[in-house]
Structure formats: structure tokens, C-alpha cells
Chain A
Amino acid sequence: MTIITRRKLITSAAIGAGGLLSGCDALNRSSTFQDVLASAETANFAVQRALGDRMALASEYTLADRSPNFRANGTRDPGTADYASSAAQGFADWQLRLTGLFKKPQQFSMAALLSMPQRTQITRHDCVEGWSAIGQWTGVPLKILLDLAQLQGSAQFLVFHCADRLGGRPYYESIDLLDGFHPQTILAHRLNGESLPIENGAPLRLRVERQLGYKHAKYVTGIEAVASLAGIGEGKGGYWQDVANYEWYAGI
């Protein structure tokens, strides 16, 4: 009697497990259910912004804490003729264009950026995949550029346009103004005391230290101030958000 019950239980558990899996896949394909799941992003964003000082700094480390090798991920070389010729002259001709909702849209040469006040920080880069690497970054605080170009009142987001393409699409990312003005948000051009390697995003990459690695756009060519992300790419605020279900807010 008990044996049969147990066998039945085990069989139904096995059937249940199979059903659970295919059920989960069916739910995963439902756009309504995906919207329900994605509501966690809203909660993560609201709660993580509320739990600490909105300008709280990410941990900074000492030189001895650095990773022996700083892993590169995503595009390792944009591979275009324009990029190669710019790289050949040490990116002397690289221009960073500030466009969109600025009172004084303008562009900066690398020489102009290098003559500005710099910030150096040793921080931990956390990839969405799970690995981390600690490196020393030097760059121009984004706040300096935003103060020079002066945002219009309607600006809500900063979109970072990049020189690299993944799967045929241009890479881009976006952050809100709170992260834009954060003291650790810099456009880095040096890694561990040397010119930024091509595989890590030369000549300019964004550091937005309180978010995961895919937010840290590499090969940055322009910053566009916008009121809404709707008109950019497929409107989700970034390359990975458009091509897969990655969240725009990557604080966790």
C-alpha cells in the first residue's frame, strides 16, 4: 500500500518536474509573463536608489588589489577602416560629440579631453556573467563635459554612441542624469597607468561604477542628451536591452 503510494508519488513528481520545465518555457515565451518578470527591474531600481546615498561611491581599492590581467569582453576591436586609421595615429583625430538636448552642443578632441581635470579610481568591474576584475581607471569626469555643454531642462537620459558594432548593429548604452553627474562616472582613457588598450575600449570608454559591465560603453564617439529613450535603437536604452531581455537598470 505505502509502496504503491510512494511509487505513484515519485512518478507524479517526475511528471510534475517535466511539466514544470515545459511550463516554464511556455511562460518564458509569453510577452505578458515577461512583463511581469521585468517588474522586478522597477523594484530593484527604486529600492537600490533608495537604500543608500544617491551619490554613494562604489568601493575603491589599492594598487595591490588589482587583477593580474584585466579581462576584456564584448567587442575586442571595432575592426573598421576608420577605427584602424585613427588607432594608427594614437587616436589623435578622435572626436567626442555632445549632441541633442544641450544648450551648447559641441565636440571635444582627445587633446582637449586630456587637458581637463582628471579622476583616477581603482574599482571593481562586475560583469553580468558573474566575473569581476579590479583595475585602475583614469579619465575625465563626465560632469565636467555636461557642465560645459549645459543640459536643457527637458533632458532625462544620456545616450552613449560607440564606434563598434555587434551582430551588425551599433553598440550603444544609456544612463540617467543621476549616474551622469556621479563623481565616479568618467570617460576613461587610461587603464592601470597605460593608454587604454583597444580590447578595453580605446580611446574612450564610459565607467559607471554602480552598474554592471554592459553599461560601460566602449569606443565612445558621442553623447546624446535625450528626453526619452524611445527614438534610439529599438527604444530600450541599449544594445543588449534591444537584442535580448537585459534590463536597462543594471545595478544588480
Chain B
Amino acid sequence: MKEKFNFYFKLFKSTFFLSAFTFGGGYVIVPLMRKKFVKEYKWIEEEEMLDLTAIAQASPGAMAVNASILVGYRLAGILGAIITIIGTILPPLIILSIISLAYSAFIENIFVKYILKGMQAGVAAVVLDVSVSMITDIFKERKLMPIIVMFAAFIASFFLNINVVIIILLSGLIGIASMYFSKDRRKGAD
């Protein structure tokens, strides 16, 4: 019993700290988890961790949350998943709640305003940098379909203000359709 509790506590503690020190979110958590659970604790095989990463990527939502749900589920079933989810969402929940409370007082300060103004220009550059890298990757694939979908989605969201959910659903459908299309073609070639 005590051993089990210790294991759950260790699981909670590791996801809590992983989450507390993952700045900027996203894919950063994967190598950190690999280091912790594959290399250090040897709880998960290397190969399996790669598959879990693919599942985390394939699912909606934040990568960090998805990856920790999977690790928790793999190690201790549903209860494990619940423990790792709580461990992962607590740090940002606590930090952002505190910032939210202090926000009004914080934002009225003139120097804070200057800093935030500069940082907003910085963050705009950060997001543009991400999008430029991703667009370059799409063009490197040299396939017509993704490029058309990308332009159409951009026009739909930036100029026509079409709801993002509709754009996502439509492009998912295009993905499925093109899978069937290429399957049929392959059959034809056989």
C-alpha cells in the first residue's frame, strides 16, 4: 500500500515539476519526459515513447497535457492518467490565476505598460517566426494540395472572418478525402 502511494506520489511530483519548468509549452515537454521516464526511471521503453508522442500529436489539445495523460495511463491506468493530468495543469493554473488577480494593478503601472508594449512587438515576431518556418516546410513538400488548403484557409480566416472551427473541420475532411483518393489511385496502379 505504502509502496503504491509512493509510486503515485513520484508520478505526481515528476509531472508537476516537468510542467512547472516547461516554458513556452509545446514540444519542449517531450524530450524532458523522455529523459525522466525512459532514461532516469526506466518506466517506459524508448520505442513506445515515440508512439506515445505520435498519439499525443494526433489528439487535440496541448501537447504537454496529452503526453502526460498517456504516460499516466500507460503506467497506472485511469487513476495514473488522473494523477498526471492534475500534476500537469496545477502549475499553470496557480501561476495564471495569481497573475490574473494582480493584472489590473499590474497593467496600470506606466513602466509595466512600456515593457509589455515592447514584449508585444517581440511576441508578434516570435509568432511570425513560427509561422514562416511552418510555411517554408509546407512549400518544401512540393505538393499542391497542402499549399492550396493553406492559402484558402488563410483567406477564410484573415479576410473573410470565417469561424476557425469550420475551417478546421473542412480541412480535416479534405485530409480524409485525399487519403481515399490516393488509396484508389494506388489500387488502380496495382
Do A and B belong to a common assembly? no
Listed in ascending order, the chain A residues whose CB lies under 8 Å from chain B are none
